[in-house]
Amino acid sequence: MPVSFQRVYLESAGYFMPGEPIPNDRMDAYIAPLNRMSERIKRRILAENGILTRHYAIDAEGMTQHTNAQLAAGAIRDCLQRGGAELSRVSLLASGSSGGDTLMPGFANMIQGELAAQPMETHSVHGICAAGVSAIQTAAQGIELGAHRSAMAVASEMPSRLFKRSRFAARGYETDFDSHFLRWMLSDGAGALLLSDGTPALAGAPGLRLKLKWVHQRAFSGDYPVCMQLGLTEDRARGHLDFGSWAEAEAAGALSLRQDIRLLPHLFDIGIHEYAGLVRDGWVDPKRVDHFLCHYSSEKFIPVVEDLMAKADLSIPRERWWSNLAWRGNTGAASILVMLAEFLHTKALKPGEQIFCYVPESGRFMAAYMLLEVEAVDAAPAVVAPRAAAVLDDDLVIAPPHDPNAAPEGLGALLTELAAIWHDYRSRVWRTPLIRQIRERRFAVPDYLNWMEQWVPQVREGSLWMREGAASLSEPYQMLASLIGVHAGEEQNDFNILFSDYRKAGGTVENIEELRRNPGGEALNAYLHGLAATRDPIGLLGAIYIIEGTGQRIVPALLPLLKASLKLPPDAFRFLEYHGHNDENHLSRWLTAVEMVMAVEGQARAAGQIVETARHTAALYLMQFQHITQRMPHGSNA
C-alpha cells in the first residue's frame, strides 16, 4: 500500500549537470570503444535510446572533475537558491545513489561534509534508479511524522568513472555484451528537492504549492535474478571481495557494471501490474493525470510501456508524457529528480493538476511511483475524505498472460480477478527452490533430469483430463467440447516431446511408465480428473489459464537461464521452446472458450467457477514446483 502524506509539500527543486553537454559524436573522447564489437554496439544502442546529449564529470583524459558528492552538493545549492531558502533550515538530508565516492561512510554524510552543513539527521539509500524515490519518501516521512519542518532529498550518479577505457585494460579490452551495453546508456548528474510542511509557495509559481500525495514502492527481488549489477562476475558466481586483490577482481570482470537486457521485459510487466493495482484501489485515476513523468532508460521502451498500459485500458495520452532523456541522458537514481526539477522550471502549472511519476528499477526489479497535486496557496485545508476506489470502465483488463485487446466484451471483472491470482502465483513460483537454483546458476544436468522425470507424467495427463472434461459437457456446451477436443488433440503428444528431450539430455529411464509425479503433481492430477468427471466442469478453464500461462510467461524466462547453465544440445530443450512460442495462441483460444461459457451460463456464475478453479490450480501447481527438487523413485505410476 502506498505511503500517504497530508502535510508534505515540494517547496523547490534543483539539479546540477557537470560540464558541457556531450553529443553522440563526441562520446568517444570520454567513453572510447574497446574494440570493433563495441563500436557496433554503440551505434545500435544510440540509435535506439534517443539520447542526443549527456553530461560527464570526467574530462577527456578520464580525470575526475567533480566527485559524486560535489554533484549532489551542486544540486542542493541550486535547489536552495531557486527557493530562496537557507541550508540552515534543513534538519534532515536523505540521499539516493548507486554509489558514492567511498565505500564508507554513507553518501549522505559525505554530501553533508561537502556542504559543510550544520549537524542534522542523515539517511543514505543505496540502490539504483528507485533510490531517488526512496530518498524522497524518507524525507517526506520525516516531515509527516512532525520530526522535521524542512527536509532535503537528493540523488546523484557518476557512472562515467566505471566506463573509462583504461578500466578494461586488465582484460585486454575484451568484455561481454552486458557490460558493453551500459557504457552507452548512463551518464552523470544530480537532482534535489526541498520538502517542507507547506508554508511557502512553490518556487517560481506564486500562489501555488505542490503537495506530495503519496509514494509507493515495491521490490520483487525475491522473484527474479539480478538484472543490473556491479561487483559480481559475469556468471554471478563470485563477488569482488572474494578475490585476492582488487586487480584480480577487475581482471575477472567483477568490477564491470552489467545489465542482463533479456530480463528487462519482465520489469515493465511487473510495473504495469503495480500501476493497475494503484488504479484499482483508488490511488490514481489515469483520466485525472495531467503530466506523466516516466523514467525510461531508452526511448525504445516507450512503446513497451504504452502498449502494456493500453492493454490494461489504463493509458495516459502520449501528449501528457514529459521527459528530458534526450538532452540530459539517463542519470539513474537522479533521473526522476532532475526530470521533476526541469519540468517545474519550464512548465506553468494550474491548481488541481496532477503529476504522476513512475520509476522502474532493473537492479533486482523494483517499481516506484509518486503522485503530486497542485494547490492554490490560499485554498482552505482539504477535508480528507475516505479513499474510494477509482471508477473503472467495465472492460478493464490488467494482466497478461493474455492480450486483452482480443478479449470479448464483458470479461473485465473476470480478467481482473484472475490477474491478482496470477500475479501472486508467479511471484511464489519464482521463489521456489527449483527456480532459485536456476537463477543462481546452481542447476546442473542431474537436476534438469530429475525435473523432467517428474514433469513428463504430469504433462501426459493434460490431454486426458481435458478430454474427460469435454465428455462431461452437456448439450448446450457441445461447441465448447469440440474446441477443447481440438486443444487436447494438439497437446496429446506433448509428453513424448518432453520425454525425448529428457533422453537426449542423458536421462536413463527408458520406459515412460516408470516415471512418477511428485506429491504436488499427484494432488493436481487428482483434482483435475475429479473436476473433469463432474457435469459441465466449466471451471477447468481456470486451470487452463494457469497452466498455459505458466508455459507462456514463466517457461520462456527460464529457458535462457537453463541454456546458460546446462551444456546440452539444443534439441534437449524442444518442449520448452515449443511452449514459449505457442501458448500465446492457446490463450487466445481460451478467451473464445470463456465467451462461449458465459453465453450459456451467465457471467457471474461462470466467472465464479473459473476463478475458484484457477485459485486451486495455482496452489497445486505451486506445490508441484516446490517438490521438484526431491528425488522420486522410479516405478509404477498407477
Compute CA distances 314 → 211, 297, 388, whole Å: 24, 22, 18
Provide the pLDDT confidence category of residue 306 given band limits of 50, 70 and 90. Answer: confident
pLDDT for 595 beyond 90: no
Provide the pLDDT confidence category of residue 581 given band limits of 50, 70 and 90. Answer: low
pLDDT for 508 beyond 70: yes
**The CATH homologous superfamily of the domain defined by 3-376:** Thiolase/Chalcone synthase (3.40.47.10)
- Phi and psi dihedrals of 313, rounded to 5? 60, 35
pLDDT tens digit string along 137-161? Answer: 999 999 999 999 999 999 999 999 9
**The CATH homologous superfamily of the domain defined by 404-627:** Heme oxygenase-like (1.20.910.10)
Set of cell numbers at residue 61: 583524459
pLDDT for 410 beyond 90: no
Judged by DSSP in three states, 55 sits in: coil
The CB density around residue 65, as the number of other CB atoms within 10 Å, is 13
Q: What is the structure's pLDDT at 600? A: 84
Q: What is the structure's pLDDT at 408? A: 53
Average pLDDT on 12-19 reads 97
Provide the pLDDT confidence category of residue 297 given band limits of 50, 70 and 90. Answer: confident
pLDDT for 400 beyond 60: no
pLDDT tens digit string along 184-227? Answer: 999 999 999 999 997 678 888 888 999 999 999 999 998 888 99
Q: Which residue has the higher pLDDT, 115 or 575?
A: 115
pLDDT for 299 beyond 60: yes
The CB density around residue 381, as the number of other CB atoms within 10 Å, is 9
pLDDT tens digit string along 227-236? Answer: 999 999 988 8
DSSP letter assigned to residue 35: S
- Least confident range of 125-134, 435-444, 482-491: 482-491
Amino acid making up residue 145: L
Report how far residue 592's alpha carbon sits from residue 595's, in angstroms, rounded to the nearest whole number. Answer: 5
Q: What is the structure's pLDDT at 165? A: 87
Average pLDDT on 521-541 reads 93
Residues of the chain with CATH 3.40.47.10: 3-376
pLDDT tens digit string along 431-447? Answer: 889 988 887 788 999 99
Set of cell numbers at residue 13: 527543486
Set of cell numbers at residue 602: 451467465
Residues of the chain with CATH 1.20.910.10: 404-627
Longest Cα separation, the chain = 82
pTM over 0.85: no
pLDDT for 317 beyond 80: yes
Evaluate whether 253 touches 169 at the Cβ level (below 8 Å).
no
Mean pLDDT value across the chain: 87
- Least confident range of 41-55, 392-406, 427-441: 392-406
Average pLDDT on 83-107 reads 96
Q: What is the structure's pLDDT at 552? A: 74
Report how far residue 591's alpha carbon sits from residue 69's, in angstroms, rounded to the nearest whole number. Answer: 55
- Phi and psi dihedrals of 376, rounded to 5? -80, 135
Q: Name the range with the highest mean pLDDT among 13-22, 25-34, 455-464, 467-476.
A: 13-22
Q: Which residue has the higher pLDDT, 567 or 159?
A: 159
pLDDT for 370 beyond 50: yes
The CB density around residue 634, as the number of other CB atoms within 10 Å, is 14
Q: What is the structure's pLDDT at 615? A: 95
Set of cell numbers at residue 41: 554496439
- Least confident range of 144-148, 164-168, 554-558: 554-558
Evaluate whether 292 touches 356 at the Cβ level (below 8 Å).
yes
pLDDT tens digit string along 341-364? Answer: 999 999 999 999 999 999 999 999
Q: Which residue has the higher pLDDT, 279 or 491?
A: 279
DSSP letter assigned to residue 554: I
3-state helix, strand, coil in the chain (%, to 5): 50, 15, 35
Average pLDDT on 123-136 reads 97
Average pLDDT on 3-28 reads 96
Q: Which residue has the higher pLDDT, 567 or 590?
A: 567
Q: Which residue has the higher pLDDT, 638 or 185?
A: 185
With a pLDDT cut of 90, the percent of the chain lying above it is 52
